[in-house]
Amino acid sequence: MTGQSLRGSSDRSMLVLTSLAGGPKHGYALIQDIRDFAGLNMGPGSLYGCLAKLEEDGLIEALPPDDRRHPYRITAAGLQVLRERLAESARISRIGLRRIAGAAT
Amino acid sequence: MNVRWLRWLFVPYPRAWKERYLREMRLLTEELWLSGEATGTRLAFSVLSGGIVERARSTVLRARRSAVLPVAAAMMLGVGLLAMAVHRSPSRLHAAIGTTIGTVPLSAGRSIGARRPSRLVDQPAPLVKLVDGKGGVLGAVPGGDLVGLRGRTPARGGVPALLGSSMPVYAITRAEVVGRVYPGTGFVPRAGTARPDGAAGVTLPDLTGTITPAATARISSLGLAADVVNAHCGGTALGEIGQMSPPAGSTVRSGSLVTLTNCT
């Protein structure tokens, strides 16, 4: 999956990738982390929908089970896609903020 | 707390998905339920909606894969139509084997005729081209399909009759006859590539009474194409030419088809 193809995908996938960029996490930790930094309460259905798609695309991979929990980590491809997507978001954010600042004066 | 009621929430998920994610997703759902971080309604909605989405995704993927079937059916239909066209063609057909046969001579005595038609499938040529008497390529079918034409109404001079009789098989290179295959004789290459001057024409020698392989070799050496048909002849030895058409002494153009009747 490239940044271009990810553009049309759910922002939740980006949140999962962003969370995993900070280190491997299992489902429960992912939900808590995303709630902390994004303020979004993801349910198990949407979370595992994202995880399955990201794993299928090779952007994340499952680690051996820790107790009963199954942690995931981001792959090199996932980091690359996340970097591209965040850079693009940052560029659009800068443009938007500049225009807002211009409109306010 | 009893969380067995969670089980039925996973019913909509496809089997493959369950095999991969069911255990860990159930564990997460139980954790969220038992910790009080999510209400039962919210969990039920999330898991059920996720299951419906995954089921729909799986169905779409399966439908895409099944699109292969119509393509395969269309290809089979095409092969069938070609076989029908060959069978119904009024023109005189011959089986012509591709260029590889020229470099892989058939062993003498190898039958390609009616008794062991499967031998034709064993030939190294991967494809059997169908050409008319003038060398025009009418199409190509796998060797097995050509053998399969046997047993249909044996149109006089058509492919079934050829397969069941003397079976003159043309080995062609770019629609040019380079030799033939005869049952019991094998591949007889055409002698030389130079043809007599077509404008001047070729006078046919009298080949009646000549053994069939020698007659066909002679025809080939003259730059002509021989077509061997089997027939009962009175007074002529078996395996010899009893009749030829056009008759001996006729002048024909280079590359013309000469029909030789092999007495059986």
The answer to whether A27 contacts B21, with C-beta atoms less than 8 Å apart, is: no
8 A C-beta contact, residue B127 and residue B98: yes
The dihedrals phi and psi of A85, each to the nearest 5 degrees, come to -65, -40
User: Which tops the pLDDT comparison, B97 or B3?
Assistant: B3
Q: Name every chain A residue with its beta carbon within 8 A of the beta carbon of B31.
A: 28
User: Which tops the pLDDT comparison, B164 or B32?
Assistant: B32
As given in the structure block, the two tokens for residue B173 are 């290179």
Is the pLDDT at B37 greater than 90, yes or no?
Answer: no
Residue B3 — very low, low, confident or very high, per pLDDT cuts 50/70/90? low
As given in the structure block, the two tokens for residue B187 are 């591949």
Is the pLDDT at B82 greater than 90, yes or no?
Answer: no
Q: How is residue B89 annotated by DSSP?
A: -
As given in the structure block, the two tokens for residue B194 are 């130079």
Q: Which residue, among A57, A44, A1, A55, has the nearest Cα to B13 in the 3D structure?
A: A44
The answer to whether A45 contacts B49, with C-beta atoms less than 8 Å apart, is: yes
A36-50, B92-106, B242-256 — most confident range: A36-50
Helix (H, G, I), strand (E, B) or coil at B128: strand
User: Which tops the pLDDT comparison, A72 or B195?
Assistant: A72
> Any idea how long chain B is?
264
Is the pLDDT at A7 greater than 60, yes or no?
Answer: no
User: Which tops the pLDDT comparison, B61 or B87?
Assistant: B61
pLDDT of residue A31: 93
pLDDT of residue B115: 27
Which residues lie closer than 8 Å to B126 by C-beta, 6 or more apart?
Answer: B98, B100, B142, B143
To probe the interface with A, which of B6, B43, B46 has the most A CB atoms within 10 Å? B46
How close is the nearest chain B Cα to the Cα of A69, in Å?
6
- The percent helix, strand, coil of chain A (3-state, each to 5) is 65, 10, 25
pLDDT of residue B86: 56
User: Which tops the pLDDT comparison, B173 or A103?
Assistant: A103
Question: Smallest Cβ distance to A43: which of B21, B31, B46?
Answer: B46
Average pLDDT of A49-57?
92
Helix (H, G, I), strand (E, B) or coil at B182: strand
Of B147-151, B246-250, B257-261, minimum mean pLDDT range? B147-151
The percent of residues above 70 in pLDDT, for chain B, comes to: 53
pLDDT of residue B2: 53
Within 52-81 of A, beta carbons closer than 8 Å to B belong to 52, 65, 68-70
Question: Smallest Cβ distance to B43: which of A44, A48, A68?
Answer: A44
pLDDT of residue B188: 53
As given in the structure block, the two tokens for residue B116 are 């062991």
Average pLDDT of B163-171?
36
Please determine, for the modelled complex, whether the ipTM score is greater than 0.85. Answer: no
Q: What average pLDDT does chain B have?
A: 62
pLDDT of residue B200: 56
Angle in degrees, CA B81, B87, B90, rounded to 5:
120
Q: Which residue, among B159, B144, B147, has the nearest Cα to B85 in the 3D structure?
A: B159
Q: Name every chain A residue with its beta carbon within 8 A of the beta carbon of B43.
A: 43-44
Alpha carbon of B246 to those of A50, B56, B188: distances in Å? Answer: 80, 72, 22
Q: Which residue, among B191, B255, B202, B248, has the nearest Cα to B227 in the 3D structure?
A: B255
User: Which tops the pLDDT comparison, B189 or B15?
Assistant: B15
For chain B, say whether A31 makes contact (Cβ under 8 Å): yes
pLDDT of residue A1: 42
How do strand B225-231 and strand B257-263 relate by DSSP bridges?
A: parallel
pLDDT of residue A2: 42
Which residues lie closer than 8 Å to B176 by C-beta, 6 or more apart?
Answer: B135
A96-100, B37-41, B106-110, B125-129 — most confident range: A96-100
> Any idea how long chain A is?
105
Chain B residue at shortest CA distance from A30: B28
To probe the interface with A, which of B22, B25, B33 has the most A CB atoms within 10 Å? B25
pLDDT of residue B232: 80
CA distance B216 to B257: 11
Average pLDDT of B67-79?
76
As given in the structure block, the two tokens for residue B233 are 């002849």
pLDDT of residue B106: 30
Is the pLDDT at A15 greater than 90, yes or no?
Answer: yes
pLDDT digits over B180-233, tens only?
555 444 445 454 433 334 445 788 998 888 888 888 888 877 877 778 888 888
The answer to whether A52 contacts B27, with C-beta atoms less than 8 Å apart, is: no
CA distance A68 to A60: 19
Helix (H, G, I), strand (E, B) or coil at B93: strand
8 A C-beta contact, residue B96 and residue B146: no
- B205 preceded by cis ω (within 30°)? no
Residue B258 — very low, low, confident or very high, per pLDDT cuts 50/70/90? confident
Average pLDDT of B19-37?
85
